[in-house]
Amino acid sequence: MTDIEPEETVDARGAACPGPLMDLIGAIRSAESGDVVRLLSDSDGSLTDVPEWADEAGNELLAVEELDEHNAFYVEKA
C-alpha cells in the first residue's frame, strides 16, 4: 500500500487497451508540473504501455500497486 496522495484519479477499469493510457495522457495533459495522477486499470497492456509512455514523456512512474483485479499506477508530471 502506497502513501502517495494523488491530485487526480482516473478510473479506466473496464476499458480496453489503449483506453487507459489515453485517459492517463489526457489527465497529465491538463495537470500541473509536479502533480501526481493515479490511473486505475485492469488492462494487462497498461503494465507495459504506461511505463513506456512515462519514460518517453519524461514523467516519473512513482509506483504500481497491485490491487483486487486491477492495478494502480502513480505518475508524476515532469
Partner 1 sequence: MTERIVIVGGGTGGSVLANDLADRLGPELDAGDVEVTLINDGPDHVYKPVWLYVPFGKREPADGRRALDELVDDAVDLRIDRVSEIDTDSQTLRFDGTAPSMEYDHLVLATGSTLEPEQIPGLVEGGHDYYSESGATALREELLEFTEGELVLSVIGTPHMCPAAPLEFVFMTDDWFRERGLREDVEVTYTYPIQRVHGNPHIAEWARPIMEDRDINVETFFNAESVDPDAETVTSMEGTELDYDLLVSIPPHGGVDLIEEAGLGDDGWVDVDKHTLEAAAANNVYALGDTADTGVPNAGSVAHYQAGVVGQRLASEVRGRPATATYDGKTLCFIETGMDAASFVEFDYERPPSPAPPSEKLHWSKLAYNESYWLTARGLL
Contacts of 30 by beta carbon, 8 Å cutoff, 6+ apart: none
Binding mask 7-26 for partner 1 (x = CB under 8 A): -------xxxxxx-xx--x-
Q: Which of 56, 66, 68, 69 binds partner 1 (CB under 8 A)?
A: 56
Q: Would you call 15 helix, strand, or coil by DSSP?
A: coil
Would you say 1 and 30 are in contact if contact means Cβ atoms under 8 Å apart? Answer: no
**Active site (annotated) includes residue 53:** no
Residue ranges in contact with partner 1 by CB under 8 A? 14-19, 21-22, 25, 28-29, 49, 52-53, 56-58
What are the catalytic residues?
A: 17
